Amino acid sequence: MPRGAMPGESCSRHEAWKGAQMIGKKVEAAFNQQINHEAGSAYLYLSASAYFQALGLEGMAHWMRVQAGEERKHAFKFYDEIVDRSGRVELLALGKPKMEWKSPLDAFKDAYKHEVFITGKINDLMRLAEKEGDYAAAEFLHWFVNEQVEEEQQVVRIVQMLERIGDSGGALVMLDEELGERKGE
């Protein structure tokens, strides 16, 4: 009798039940790719943090560092989901992130473009989960769908403020102070 099977239960029935809990290969591969995207996001935000540190904009550096931490947490959510569903995590190589921007506005515009890219990847994952009939994956992804709305909104708000500020050094310092108050999660 297979481990975990009930007395009198056939091996094939137990295997079918066990298989329902496992992650499918297509979803597993896509989740592994998303770990890479989330880790790449963390790298990008950490690089932006270093850029702002070099400019002496400590608040913006702090904001980006906190965001890098959030992206690492997102990568671990995918990692844990794969493991919890008896899958195999495959860590893929990360590319070197951008290190220089023309201005703080340029850096935050890149952050916004990147969040839009990640939203597209989450939407692709949702479509795949639905196509594969993986309702556990779809349920898991709902959190990310909502998270991306929040992430895009946060960054676009900062972009809009930086656009209004323009070349006003005093306003930039005030925004930098405000962004430095961001709490880590």
Domain count, the chain: 1
Burial label, 12 (beta-carbon count in 10 A; 0-12, 13-18, 19+): exposed
**Which range of residues forms the domain containing residue 36?**
21-179
Continuous H helices in 22-134? 25-55, 58-84, 104-131
Residue 125, domain member (yes or no)? yes
Residue 78, domain member (yes or no)? yes
CATH number at 70 reads 1.20.1260.10
Tokens 């006003």, residue?
168
- Please state at what angle helix 104-131 crosses helix 58-84, rounded to 10 degrees: 10
Contact 174, 138 (CB under 8 A): no
Residue 11, domain member (yes or no)? no
Q: Determine the pLDDT at residue 105.
A: 97
**pLDDT tens digits, residue range 69-85?**
999 999 999 999 999 99
Residue 6, domain member (yes or no)? no
The span from the CA of 118 to the CA of 126, in Å, is 12
**pLDDT tens digits, residue range 32-71?**
999 999 999 999 999 999 999 999 999 999 999 999 999 9
Q: CA torsion 101→62→151→44, rounded to 10°?
A: 40
Residue 151, domain member (yes or no)? yes
Residue 91, domain member (yes or no)? yes
Residue 4, domain member (yes or no)? no
Residue 1, domain member (yes or no)? no
